[in-house]
Amino acid sequence: MAVRLTSVLLPVSVQFRRPQRFVFISRNTKFTASAATMATGAPQSRTKIIDSHLHVWASPQEAADKYPYFPGQEPTLPGDVALLLQSMEEAGVDGALIVQPINHKFDHSLVASVLKKYPSKFVGCCLANPAEDGSGVKQLENLILKDNFCAVRFNPYLWPSGQQMTNEVGKAMFSKAGELGVPVGFMCMKGLSVHISEIEELCTEFPSTLVLLDHLAFCKPPINDEENQAFTALLKLSRFPQVYVKFSALFRVSRMPFPYEDLSNTLSQVVSSFGANRVMWGSDFPFVVAECGYKGAKEAVSLIANQIPLSSSELEWIMGRTISQLFQNQWLP
């Protein structure tokens, strides 16, 4: 079954903090430019493979010397940058979005050092601090403007007990993200149905803030009414043009072992609803290493896509073009 690419007109009012690199333009404009390039016979550069979701944390020695783990969040597996770089090279992955790990919680110094050392390879996603005193808004601004983070993650389970991401602090941070032109990623580990009303409210009230749904919003291939409702809710979020979906951490959302073939229908429906230009692959390194290996995480997408099938162009969007254009070609040489 062929799936379609949807054209998305993003809000023109949004100005990114790096106008020379981050500028909102319509997806129509991008597609037209691409078609014009092909028509003139101009040389086509290879679409880079970009991982939209992975983590990196200090090695034990780095933690002892300079970048301590948050107490109680010591990692149980290696996730240092040397291992990441080796894994990416072996798999043929060109760049990645590093999501701040809970192992360092709100201390972003380790990830910031990696971003500074490898500016053409990595983009950073910081972790929102929903402290009740509202200090997280300024922290977010500093991480974006001073430490070169380009996205922010909302972990709803870090909000004070009994409060939601739509509280005053949450809305202030979500609004600030839109003002700064950075996407907000949502981690719905306990299920999309728990958080769908919050996400819808934030998207409705702040249409200029881009949204990334981590790991298919934790929607497994549905096998009962409750899961069907959650997956339907995910597809309906496509009505918000600012919402993107990460086809990431496949081992977390599949009910089958590698290559996670039960996700073929899921991917087909997600692409049909959002368009491949709003879907992006992510590995969830280093957790994926013990599951199918980093290279396997990349290969699984092609194997799943072949069952639908997706066109080569659609697969290119998912494997790197979507996130590359979202961040306005951050990974160009």
* SS3 label, residue 125: strand
Residue pair 67/79 in contact (Cβ under 8 Å)? The answer is no
SS3 breakdown of the chain: % helix, strand, coil, rounded to 5? 45, 10, 40
CATH of domain 47-326: 3.20.20.140
pLDDT in 10s for each residue of the chain, 333 residues: 444 444 444 433 333 333 333 333 333 333 333 333 333 344 456 789 999 999 999 999 999 999 999 999 999 999 999 999 999 999 999 999 999 999 999 999 999 999 999 999 999 999 999 999 999 999 999 999 999 899 999 999 999 999 999 999 999 999 999 999 999 999 999 999 999 999 999 999 999 999 999 999 999 999 999 999 999 999 999 999 999 999 999 999 999 999 999 999 999 999 999 999 999 999 999 999 999 999 999 999 999 999 999 999 999 999 999 999 999 868 866
**Cis bond upstream, residue 119 (ω within 30):** no
Q: Which residues pair with 247 in a beta bridge?
A: 281
* SS3 label, residue 111: helix
Give the pLDDT score at 328. 87
Task: Quickly tell me which residue has 């929903």 as its tokens.
Answer: 130
Give the pLDDT score at 330. 83
* SS3 label, residue 143: helix
d(CA 108, CA 110): 6
Contacts for 255-261: CB closer than 8 Å, 24+ residues apart? 255/220, 255/221, 255/223, 257/292, 258/291, 258/292, 258/296, 258/300, 259/292, 259/296, 259/299, 259/300, 259/303, 259/304, 260/300, 260/304, 261/303, 261/304, 261/307
Boundaries of every domain in the chain: 47-326
Q: What is the pTM of this model?
A: 0.88
